[in-house]
């Protein structure tokens, strides 16, 4: 695991400064993982870059190759459909003996990245999710063929400030994308539905939403801190003949678990489709 000095003397090029790329830059600077002068951020949106520079003090540029040549670590944070174009642009600037390429583009495989970059270039694929923007994310890390333990430690050092980091085999990435990457949207939809139900039962919207959000937050914290199986935690709330078992009965009758499982399966299939459509190979 990272010991704190993996990024010392390293410069990081963040290619794509949107929600995830920009969020990572802000987290790295605010948590003092790296100094502002160690980061060069790029984007096609000049206004976005100017705002990021004002907020963090990092160097910004619209020239991807310029950033890559000046840095040691290249964080690819563009949308999956843009990856082939960006890799074609920066490939000649990447040096296998110097650079580490880390991609957070959903659905883009390590093999695709390795085929589009110089031989023996260390490549790491990371799947973060949007709660990373508030420091409570999940970041799954998979090593490419030429990535070493030292490279893995660098990846952990970069992503630890924004959530938990988990080492995984790349074959699990589509499933992790469907659960962790897309999962916040499922939870937000559940919170919204819970709030709607409260309003339907007569609660004011602001109270219903606040109660729904903090109920989900509290339940998640119980699962994190109490060390019990989630089924056991559910049983703690479920009294014989009570309101909770009646509600759970209704959920089961409506196929609640199956709906969630179907949603994850659909997300996995879409991730696989996106990977094929990206055309990096």
Cα 160 to Cα 90: distance, rounded to the nearest angstrom: 27
Lookup: tokens for 217: 């937050």
What is the per-residue pLDDT for 4?
Answer: 56
What is the per-residue pLDDT for 45?
Answer: 94
Distance from chain centroid for Cα 118: 26
> What homologous superfamily is domain 12-170 in, according to CATH?
NAD(P)-binding Rossmann-like Domain (3.40.50.720)
- Domains in the chain: boundaries: 12-170, 183-275
pLDDT truncated to tens, each residue of the chain (281 aa)?
A: 455 578 888 999 999 999 889 988 998 899 888 999 999 999 999 999 999 999 999 999 999 999 999 999 999 999 988 999 999 999 999 999 999 999 998 888 999 999 999 999 999 999 999 998 888 999 999 999 999 999 999 999 999 988 999 999 999 999 999 999 999 999 999 999 999 999 999 999 999 999 999 999 999 999 999 999 999 999 999 999 999 999 999 999 999 999 999 999 999 998 888 777 765 54
What is the per-residue pLDDT for 73?
Answer: 97
DSSP-derived letter for residue 180 is I
Spatial neighbors of 90 by CB under 8 A, at least 6 apart, are: 15, 64, 65, 68, 74
Distance from chain centroid for Cα 263: 19
What is the per-residue pLDDT for 2?
Answer: 52
What is the per-residue pLDDT for 96?
Answer: 95
Give the residue from 186, 104, 175 showing the smallest Cα distance to 139.
104
What is the per-residue pLDDT for 277?
Answer: 72
CATH number corresponding to 183-275 = 1.10.3730.10
List Cβ<8 Å contacts ≥24 apart for 2-7.
2/153, 2/154, 2/156, 2/157, 2/160, 3/153, 4/157, 6/150, 6/153, 6/154, 6/156, 6/157, 7/33, 7/34, 7/38, 7/73, 7/154, 7/157, 7/158
Cα 98 to Cα 102: distance, rounded to the nearest angstrom: 13
Cα 65 to Cα 62: distance, rounded to the nearest angstrom: 9
Flag whether the pTM goes above 0.95.
Answer: no
What is the per-residue pLDDT for 180?
Answer: 94
**Alpha-carbon distances of 221 from 166, 178, 212, 226, 228, rounded to whole Å:** 19, 22, 14, 8, 11
């Amino acid at each position: 695991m990272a010991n704190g000095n993996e990024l010392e003397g390293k410069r990081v090029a963040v290619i794509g400064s949107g929600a995830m790329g920009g969020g990572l830059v802000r987290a790295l600077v605010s948590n003092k993982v790296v100094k502002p002068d160690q980061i060069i951020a790029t984007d096609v949106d000049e206004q976005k870059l100017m705002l990021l520079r004002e907020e963090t003090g990092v160097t910004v540029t619209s020239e991807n190759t310029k950033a890559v040549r000046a840095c040691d670590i290249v964080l690819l944070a563009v949308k999956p459909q843009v990856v082939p174009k960006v890799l074609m642009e920066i490939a000649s600037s990447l040096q296998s003996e110097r650079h580490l390429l880390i991609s957070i583009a959903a659905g883009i495989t390590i093999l695709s990245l390795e085929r589009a970059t110089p031989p023996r270039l260390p490549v790491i694929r990371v799947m973060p999710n949007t709660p990373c923007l508030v420091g409570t994310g999940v970041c799954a890390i998979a090593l490419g063929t030429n990535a070493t333990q030292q490279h893995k430690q660098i990846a952990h050092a970069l992503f630890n400030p924004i959530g938990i980091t988990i080492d995984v085999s790349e074959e699990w990435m589509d499933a992790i994308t469907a659960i962790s990457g897309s999962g916040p949207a499922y939870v937000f939809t559940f919170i919204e539905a819970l709030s709607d139900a409260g309003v339907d039962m007569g609660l004011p919207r602001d109270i219903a939403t606040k109660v729904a959000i903090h109920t989900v937050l509290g339940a998640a914290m119980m699962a994190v801190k109490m060390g019990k199986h989630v089924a056991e935690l559910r049983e703690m709330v479920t009294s014989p003949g009570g309101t909770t078992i009646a509600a759970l009965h209704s959920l089961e009758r409506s196929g609640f678990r199956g709906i969630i499982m179907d949603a994850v399966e659909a997300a996995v299939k879409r991730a696989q489709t996106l990977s094929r459509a990206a055309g990096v190979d």
